[in-house]
Structure 1
Amino acid sequence: MFELTRYDGRRRIRGSIYLSIGLSLLAAMVIWVYPSFEAEVDLDQLLAAYPEPILQVMGVRTMASLGGFLSFELYTFGWIILLGLYLAYATAGTIADDVDRGRMDVVLAMPISRSRVVGERFAAMAVPIVGANLLPPIVVYVGARLIGHPIGAADVLAVHLLSIPYLFACAGIGLFASVIFDRAAIAQRVALGVTFALFLSESLLTGTDAEAIGAIAPMRYYDPNAVLIDGSYDLVGAGILLAMTVSFLVAAQLWFQRIDIS
């Protein structure tokens, strides 16, 4: 059991380590520059100079605290946008790449069902998703204390744990694209486009009459501001993201069972 998961997971370990280190360096840089910004610039006055639509798209509430600064500079860019897009893109190649290169016939020649192939390949994405959240919280927690702006360990841990269901949901978008399109390049471009479009729709439709449409976007259910500024943990949102992930997985399995692989 889980032979494909172990195989794919091992192949992703090195990249996941590099990803975790890169995000940790980004976190360290953001924390390092915060005291300079705080001393020299009225951060909330700086925000007031930005157009309201820009602040709404980026989900900025305040940068007067380290938590608000990290939420904007690190978690919105690093987790919601960059990691979300990366996971959608990477997962979009899990099935489509084998079909595109003619390797899927060899995989399916083994005594393994199509739904299991999809499930095990998707499970291997836990390696980069979890790996990306191993080292950065340590850097954030220690770094915040070193500059004299401590953040509670529970809040740091929560903002990373709650990102895991969000990242799985983004990976689910990529998985569904991977079974719909038999060319990896197309599947990856579609996954990127859909994920970014969902981010923009959620950001721009919030507070409008069409706000309900944004309910389909995973970004609605992961809010670093709520964790780092308010100390509020949206467990219901995490549950919705898990339900989204399961829906994408089941839909991908059903679709892959029905398509003809040539």
Structure 2
Amino acid sequence: MEGKIIRITYETIKKNLKTTLVLSLIFMGMAAMYSSFYPSFEGSLEELMKNFPELGFIRGFESFASYPGFLNAELYQIFWILILAIIFGYVAASLISEEIEGKTMDMLLSNPIPRYRIVLEKFFGLIPLVLIVNFATMASVYGITLAINEELNFVNLLTTHVLSIPYFLAIISLGVLVSTIIDKKMKASMVVMAIVIGSYIFESVSLLAPDYEKLGLISLTHYYNPAESLIEGNIDFNGTITLVITTISFLLLAMIYFERRDIEI
């Protein structure tokens, strides 16, 4: 039984090796590109801030003229917390749904493996994807920073990437939950993508409109702000704890639902 459990995690990791490699290369390249852009734009960033005050919904935009602020606005506040989260959610939403849709779930269920363990091990199988893409991107940012001789606190950079792990795991656990509910792979992925985008929009609206400030509280994006750690060197313990609790809650719901639901084999 335990060997089969390990096999599920191993197969999930193996299946996503290509995705891991491609995403790592893409985000390493994007990180290198934006890092190397800063010297060319450094002199015009102050003026750009004055001309586009509407970009105030970008957290940390007031520090846009600095190197960490530039990276925060150009890389982390959009491509990191939105685009990469959408991709992770898309991948996670197919973990269970594709097995059901492809009629391969019966092979797993025919073994003496509790259903909840299938869900849990599928989730564990995506953790290497998150870690490798995460720290490969961090290495690219820091390497280019040294190459162009700019100042960036390494501890702040490391903290920013470490704190992103609970955020991405919350996104993945959401994808796993939706994957246990919706049998169609593409439909499940689209639902998760819509939720992630909606979460980002809710947080942006809460920043732009004071009357809707509390709207951000229902957004996962609200609980991870790269600007706080990258620019200011602060750690949002409450936000991180909230994301950890959210991840555990989504996983528990996914395991309970999948344990009890009927599956046509």
TM over 0.5: yes
2:29 corresponds to 1:28: no
1:142 is displaced (CA, Å) by 2.3
2:7 corresponds to 1:6: no
Taking a change above 3 Å as real, the CA distance of residues 170 and 100 of structure 1, as seen in their structure-2 partners, is: same
Structure 2 equivalent of residue 227 of structure 1: 229
2:60 touches 2:69 (CA, 8 Å); kept in 1?
no
Structure 1 equivalent of residue 220 of structure 2: 218
Q: Distance in 2 between matches of 1:58 and 1:103?
A: 44
2:205 touches 2:212 (CA, 8 Å); kept in 1?
no
Q: Distance in 2 between matches of 1:104 and 1:201?
A: 36
1:169 touches 1:245 (CA, 8 Å); kept in 2?
yes
1:141 touches 1:150 (CA, 8 Å); kept in 2?
no
SS at match of 1:93: coil
Q: Distance in 2 between matches of 1:75 and 1:118?
A: 30
1:171-217 per-residue CA deviation (whole Å, 9 max, x = no partner) reads 12211111111111110110100111011011102353332232121
2:58 touches 2:77 (CA, 8 Å); kept in 1?
no
Structure 2 equivalent of residue 19 of structure 1: 23
Taking a change above 3 Å as real, the CA distance of residues 23 and 6 of structure 1, as seen in their structure-2 partners, is: same
In structure 2, runs of 5+ residues without a counterpart are: none
Q: Distance in 2 between matches of 1:33 and 1:247?
A: 41
Tell me whether 60-69 or 244-253 shows the greater mean CA deviation: 60-69
In structure 1, runs of 5+ residues without a counterpart are: none
Q: Distance in 2 between matches of 1:195 and 1:47?
A: 27
Q: Which amino acid aligns with 1:230?
A: E
Structure 1 equivalent of residue 205 of structure 2: 204
Q: Which amino acid aligns with 1:101?
A: G
Segments of 4+ in structure 1 off by > 3 A? none
Q: Distance in 1 between matches of 2:250 and 2:49?
A: 37
RMSD: 1.6
SS at match of 2:194: helix
Q: Which amino acid aligns with 2:240?
A: A
1:67 touches 1:151 (CA, 8 Å); kept in 2?
yes
1:102 is displaced (CA, Å) by 1.0
Q: Distance in 2 between matches of 1:89 and 1:58?
A: 25
Q: Distance in 2 between matches of 1:44 and 1:110?
A: 62
Structure 2 equivalent of residue 243 of structure 1: 245
1:44 touches 1:62 (CA, 8 Å); kept in 2?
no
Q: Distance in 2 between matches of 1:85 and 1:234?
A: 23
1:132 is displaced (CA, Å) by 0.6
